[in-house]
Chain A
Amino acid sequence: MSDLTSLGAAAAVPAGAVPAAGVDPALASFIYTEARLADEARYSQWEALWDDDAKYWVPMHPDHDPRVNVSYIYDNRRRIRSRVAQLNSGNRHSQTPPSVLRRLITNLEVVAQDADTTTLAANFVIYEYRFDLTVWAGRYEYRIRTRGGDLKLAAKTVHLVNAGGPVPTMSFLI
């Protein structure tokens, strides 16, 4: 219970947040594209969405500090490249064959915005079929940057509702 409470605190949306209806359709479209590429194991296309200073983070608790706490995933751009290379190798046994995945993203809100970067948050549910059906749920936080007319993913944080664990093998792109 405490995890859910603090999850809300960590992902708190300030007053004046822009709800889904007001989100720039290009940002929403970028988020849905990212989700579809992850769901469909289009690893290299998914990797191409990331910016150079990328941070892909799945913490074990919303209040954790990566400098002192271990996370399930805390990838910089280089490790994202390695993760994708491993998935593309055909020998990543825990994703060979890839899990069948579909995710729903909802409650999309803009939580902060500056000249070139927008921070958005959303709830998600992922249905993963591998040995059987596993349901994942939580909150996504995205930092999306406008770069030369393109959108790039600068950061994605995944606050799992079951981050406290135990969690099953999670080698698909969450």
Chain B
Amino acid sequence: MTELDTSAHVGQVDVAALVEPDRVHGSVYTSQEVYDQEMDRIFRNGWVFVAHVSEVPEPGDYVTRRIAGEPWIVVRGKDGEVRVLANRCTHRGNRLCNADAGNSSSFRCPYHGWTFSNDGHLAGVPMRDGYGSSFHAVRDAMGLSPAAAVDSYGGFVFASLNPPAITLLEHLGRSTTAIDRLLAVSPTGELNLRAGWMKHDMRCNWKMVMENNVDGYHALFTHASVYDAVKPAKVSHVPSKVEVYVRDLGNGHSEIDYAKEYSRLDEEFIWFGRIRREKLPRYVAAMEEARGPEDTHRAFVVGPPHTLIFPNLFLAEMNVMTVEPLGPGRAIAYTTPALIPGADEVNEKTLRRSEGAMGPAGFLIADDGEIGARNQLGLAAGSPEWVVLRRGTESDITDETGIVNHDKSAETPQRGWWKHWTQVLTGTAAPGA
């Protein structure tokens, strides 16, 4: 798959005509041709999140994933290296590994018994004498196809299926600060993402899932039932009352940033149910031991990030979400809580908070899924043709952190997403740049 240029075979829709600075054409969510271009340009030729190192901590540990509909194995070899290998027997194409996760030194195809070591090389071919000598000449080249590039930042493993035009660090750009911010609440700077992924089948375009995650405008309406009937929002959702910012970080990454508001209040754990630090004594001690009291206080005040990393990763405060596109009108949202190694007193609360907010029965995301489904249904109407993203165009500020808007309801993150999306699809920016 590294030799065939598939880009020539996909749709000819001119996506540049579908995106303007403050609006996008509705067909970006509904067109199969646009979707095919996305899978090719964004998911097969750019950096995408595939797994977290804590999911494959030991040699032989693996998880299986799909990227752009293709099956992949993320596996740690006995040399300790994490590889991303096509989950397809090189003989007749059978899907080789059929579990979600496990540990194995090799993968044996159930069809004809070809066996591959977990670093991908072809280790065994039953009844090999039936192949002539010409086969033995090519056998070494018949290992599992690896992703062209695999790299990680802060334990988050990304792959580029085809050779990337830029490095992972170049792709991540300013969004590394968000990963750093998440790791700052862990005494060891590590995370445990092994609680399981909730898999939520959504009847909407994958981009709606991602864009909505950094939409500071919808909460008062989409989630009115939570704030009215269950508990008030952690800080006001009325933009004029808070210093909550939205930010286009560049490269399609964006965030809602509560740090300024939390710092102004100088109150710890607003983001964690306003829990008092006395309730988490071992965790607090471990943090202060590792980071000192000042950095610990700051981490407890500003909390984890609320940041989207283009194209498929969302650091949802103490959750991690990734989205898998399954056609223009369907996506699966995968969500897992971000647990902290050794901090059981925090983790049990994080688990319960995750269930409360996230996933198919979550108090928040179930309604986001419903709104996404209705959004998809609404877009079936051909008129008006455009979706409007004008909020905050006159109050965006460019500074060293990106394009910032001091009104959290501004559509600054969405404009950043679409600008980058267009550049990637039209080839004016490197995929994943």
In the assembled complex, how far is the CB of residue B185 from the closest CB belonging to chain A, in whole angstroms?
18
Does A148 interact with chain B (Cβ within 8 Å)?
A: no
Question: Known contacts being A92-B367, A166-B199, is A70 close to B361, with CB within 8 Å?
Answer: no
Contact with B along A80-103 (1 / 0, CB 8 A): 001101101111111000000000
Interface on chain A toward B: helix, strand, loop, or mixed SS? loop
Indicate which residue in A61, A166, A167, A169 contacts B196 across the interface (CB closer than 8 Å).
Answer: A61
Chain B positions within 8 Å of A2 at CB level: 99
Q: Does A168 interact with chain B (Cβ within 8 Å)?
A: yes
The residue from A60, A67, A169, A171 contacting B348, defined by CB atoms under 8 A apart: A67
- B142: CB under 8 A from chain A? no
Pairwise interchain contact A73-B198, C-beta atoms closer than 8 A: no
Knowing A70-B196, A88-B229, say if A82 contacts B369 (CB, 8 Å): no
Q: How far is the CA of A168 from the CA of B228 in the complex (A)?
A: 25
B201:A94 contact, CB within 8 angstroms: no
* In the complex, chain A residues whose CB is within 8 Å of the CB of B228: 89, 91
In the assembled complex, how far is the CB of residue B211 from the closest CB belonging to chain A, in whole angstroms? 18
Q: A169-B366, A169-B369, A171-B366 are in contact. Are A71 and B355 (CB under 8 A)?
A: yes
The total of chain B residues at the interface (CB under 8 A) is: 41
* Bound form: Cα–Cα A90–B226 in Å: 11
Q: Which residues on B sit within 8 Å (CB–CB) of A174? A: 361
Pick the most buried of A2, A58, A64, A165: most chain B CB atoms within 10 A of its CB: A165
Are B229 and A131 neighbours in the complex by a CB distance under 8 Å? no
Contact partner, B360, options A66, A88, A169, Cβ 8 Å: A169
Please report the C-alpha to C-alpha distance between residue A24 and residue B272 in the assembled complex, in whole angstroms.
45
On whether A165 and B361 interact (CB within 8 A), knowing A72-B355, A94-B366, the answer reads: no
Cβ–Cβ < 8 Å partners of A133 in chain B = none
Q: What chain A residues lie within 8 Å of B231 (beta carbons)?
A: 82
What distance in Å separates the Cβ of A136 from its nearest Cβ neighbour in chain B?
11
B354 and A73 within 8 A (CB) = no
Q: A86 to B227, alpha carbons, bound, how many Å? A: 9
Q: Establish whether residues A166 and B201, one from each chain, have CB atoms under 8 Å apart when the complex forms.
A: yes
**Best-surrounded residue of A67, A69, A171 (most CB of chain B within 10 A):** A171
Using CB atoms, name the residue of chain B closest to A88. B229
Chain A, 119-174, CB within 8 A of any chain B CB: 131, 164-171, 174
Candidates B99, B198, B224; contact of A70 at CB < 8 Å? B198
A68 interface hit (Cβ, 8 Å): yes
Q: A64-B196, A91-B228 are in contact. Are A170 and B360 (CB under 8 A)?
A: yes
Chain B: minimal CB distance from A80 (Å): 12
Residue of B nearest to A71 (CB): B355
On whether the beta carbons of A167 and B199 are closer than 8 Å, the reply is yes
User: Chain A residues with Cβ under 8 A from B355's Cβ?
Assistant: 70-74
A interface residue numbers (CB < 8 A to B): 2, 58, 60-61, 64, 66-74, 79, 82-83, 85-86, 88-94, 131, 164-171, 174
The contact sample of 18 A-B pairs, CB cut-off 8 A, is: A60-B196, A64-B196, A67-B344, A72-B355, A82-B356, A83-B363, A86-B229, A86-B363, A88-B229, A89-B224, A94-B366, A164-B199, A166-B199, A167-B201, A168-B200, A169-B202, A170-B361, A174-B361
4 new A-B pairs (CB below 8 Å) besides A91-B225, A171-B367? Answer: A69-B351, A70-B355, A82-B363, A93-B367
Interface residues of B (CB under 8 A from A): 99-100, 194-203, 222, 224-226, 228-231, 332, 336-337, 344, 347-348, 351-352, 354-356, 359-361, 363, 366-367, 369-371, 373
